[in-house]
């Protein structure tokens, strides 16, 4: 039995679908479906059970009798709003909850694979998985770094797999419910289709208008890394998950415009609430992941975004 927390969310639902694709239906989805429509992300998935987040946390508190058949927890559940300023809320969702799961897994011999984030690197330029490079500039990034630091200590003692994945800029199907926190790819596609004009930020961090660079990674590639870790219980550690290549937002817009056959870009001021913590450049260092044995390739932005844009356009035509 496999638990996927945040299983109705963006990456979580794609991970459930990926598990189904390899014949795994013994999946327990954990999430909070109050007040949103994330259920659509898993409506076509085959799962063994669904647990509300609070019910799940209550069971975990029972420790050894909580989930006796579970062998692996794929922990994707978190507050991913990088503009959230309530540190108490963020640390409960991203740090305390994760610690509860880590301690439960350690006591129960359950393998634990979890989502971290490139936000731990802040506005730095070195993205190798080392504490010296980790300087988060918002409470979201801090909550992820704080837990990663706990995992570093736990990995020295744990007999079961404990692996953290630092996701870079993930895009792809299943992210509509994220609103403002959805990928720039989704927002740009919607803008270009509805008005013919895509909006990007004016220059920042020494980069020109729209020339800020990110490591954009398709969600299917993120799923593949998770599934590889599932198949390699001997691998523990903290690993970046990105393509290893940075691309500009102008590149992203140009691909979407070419796919749609029309559109242009205009540049707008960056909102004040993110300007001081904005990452103008990210690029995953993949040395640790490759050294661990992962040999899979990552989609180019042209391939991944082209497929995503075509899928979004089909959805729009279907209403």
What is the 3-class SS of the chain, one letter each residue? Answer: CEEEECCCCHHHHHHHHHHHHCCCCCEEEEECCCCCCCHHHHCCCCCCEEEEHHHHHHHHCCHHHCCCCCCEEEECCCCCCCCCCCHHHHHHHHHHHHHHHHHHHHHHCCEEEEEEEHHHHCCCCCCCCCHHHCCCCCHHHHHHHHHHHHHHHHHCCCCCCEEEEEECEEECCCCHHHHHHCCHHHHHHHHHHHHCEEEEECCECCECCCCCEECEEEHHHHHHHHHHHHHCCCCCEEEEECCCCCEEHHHHHHHHHHHHCCCEEEEECCCHHHHCCCCCECCCCCHHHHHCCCCCCCCCHHHHHHHHHHHHHHHHHHC
Q: Determine contact, residues 28/98, Cβ cutoff 8 Å.
A: no
| Residues 126 and 194 reside in one and the same domain | no
| Residues 252 and 263 reside in one and the same domain | yes
| Residues 196 and 279 reside in one and the same domain | yes
250: containing domain? 171-213+246-284+300-318
| Residues 32 and 153 reside in one and the same domain | yes
| Residues 260 and 207 reside in one and the same domain | yes
| Residues 187 and 133 reside in one and the same domain | no
Active site residue 114: no
CA 97, CA 90: separation in Å to the nearest integer? Answer: 10
| Residues 135 and 222 reside in one and the same domain | yes
| Residues 36 and 181 reside in one and the same domain | no
pLDDT of residue 121: 97
CA 270, CA 113: separation in Å to the nearest integer? Answer: 35
Count how many domains the chain has: 2
Residues of the chain under the 50 pLDDT cut: 318-319
pLDDT of residue 84: 74
Active-site pick, 95, 140, 167, 308: 140
pLDDT of residue 319: 47
Active site residue 178: yes
pLDDT of residue 75: 97
pLDDT of residue 68: 78
Neighbours of 178 (CB within 10 A): 16
CA 151, CA 145: separation in Å to the nearest integer? Answer: 10
| Residues 269 and 164 reside in one and the same domain | no
Please report, rounded to a whole number, the percentage of residues in the chain having pLDDT higher than 90.
79
Active-site pick, 71, 89, 178, 267: 178
| Residues 204 and 266 reside in one and the same domain | yes
| Residues 72 and 186 reside in one and the same domain | no
pLDDT of residue 318: 46
pLDDT of residue 147: 97
| Residues 182 and 140 reside in one and the same domain | no
CATH code where residue 182 lies:
3.90.25.10
Written as six digits, the tokens of 15 are 């991970």
CATH code where residue 122 lies:
3.40.50.720
pLDDT of residue 306: 92
* pLDDT per residue as tens digits for the range 132-167: 999 999 999 999 999 999 999 876 677 899 999 999
């Amino acid at each position: 039995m496999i638990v996927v927390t945040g299983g109705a969310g963006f990456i979580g639902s794609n991970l459930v679908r990926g598990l189904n694709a390899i014949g795994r239906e013994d999946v327990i989805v954990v999430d909070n479906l109050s007040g949103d429509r994330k259920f659509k992300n898993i409506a076509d998935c085959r799962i063994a059970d669904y647990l509300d987040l609070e019910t799940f946390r209550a069971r975990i508190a029972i420790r050894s009798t909580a989930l006796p058949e579970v062998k692996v927890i794929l922990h994707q559940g978190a507050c991913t709003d990088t503009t959230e300023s309530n540190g108490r809320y963020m640390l409960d969702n991203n740090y305390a909850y994760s610690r509860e799961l880590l301690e439960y897994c350690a006591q129960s011999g359950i393998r634990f694979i979890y989502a971290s984030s490139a936000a731990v690197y802040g506005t730095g330029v070195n993205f190798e998985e080392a504490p010296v490079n980790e300087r988060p500039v918002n409470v979201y990034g801090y909550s992820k770094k704080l837990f990663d630091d706990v995992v570093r200590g736990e990995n020295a003692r744990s007999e079961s797999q404990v692996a953290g994945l630092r996701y870079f800029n993930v895009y792809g199907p299943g992210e509509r419910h994220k609103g403002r926190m959805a990928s720039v790819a989704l927002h740009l596609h919607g803008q270009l289709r509805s008005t013919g004009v895509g909006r990007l930020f004016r220059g920042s961090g020494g980069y020109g208008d729209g020339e800020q660079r990110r490591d954009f990674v398709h969600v299917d590639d993120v799923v593949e890394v998770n599934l590889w870790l599932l198949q390699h219980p001997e691998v523990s550690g903290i690993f970046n998950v990105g393509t290893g290549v940075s691309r500009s937002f102008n590149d992203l817009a140009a691909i979407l415009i070419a796919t749609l056959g029309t559109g242009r870009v205009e540049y707008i001021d960056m909102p004040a609430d993110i300007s001081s913590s904005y990452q103008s450049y990210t690029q995953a260092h993949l040395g640790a992941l490759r050294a661990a044995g992962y040999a899979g390739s990552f989609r180019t932005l042209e391939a991944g975004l082209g497929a995503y844009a075509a899928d979004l356009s089909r959805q729009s035509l279907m209403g």
